[in-house]
Amino acid sequence: MMTAMAAAKAYAAAGSGMSLGAAAPAASGGQDFGDLLKSVMGDAMKASKNAETQMAAQVAGKAELIDVVTAISSAEASLETVMAVRDQVISAYQEIMRMPI
C-alpha cells in the first residue's frame, strides 16, 4: 500500500512536467478538479502509449534501449501518481463516510 509520503513524492515528480493551473478555484476562472483529473489521465495514457511505441521500435531495431527505459520510467511514474491520487480520494471518501451526521 502506498503511504501519503510516497503519494506526495510521486505527485511532485509528475507535477514538474504538468501545468498547475488548477491552483485557483473554479469560480475565478481556474480549472476544476474534474478537468485536472481528465488531463492527468490523458497524460498518463500518452506516456503509456509512448512506452509501448518505444518498445515496438526497439524490437524492430529502430530505437535505442535508453529511450525505451526512459519511456517506461515515465509511464511508471505517471501510473504511480494516478494510483496515489486514487488511493487518497478513496481514503478521503471513507473518512467522510465515517463522520457522524
Higher per-residue confidence, 16 vs 72: 72
The pLDDT of 21-40, averaged and rounded, is: 68
pLDDT recorded at residue 58: 95
Q: Please give the Cα distance from 44 to 32 (Å, whole number).
A: 19
What is the DSSP code (8-state) at residue 63? S
Q: Please give the Cα distance from 51 to 42 (Å, whole number).
A: 14
49: nearest Cα among 28, 75, 24, 30: 75
pLDDT tens digits, residue range 41-55? 999 999 999 999 999
Domain-by-domain residue ranges, the chain? 32-101
The pLDDT of 72-98, averaged and rounded, is: 93
Task: Give the alpha-carbon dihedral of 41, 2, 55, 71, to 10 degrees.
Answer: 70
Q: What is the pTM of this model?
A: 0.64
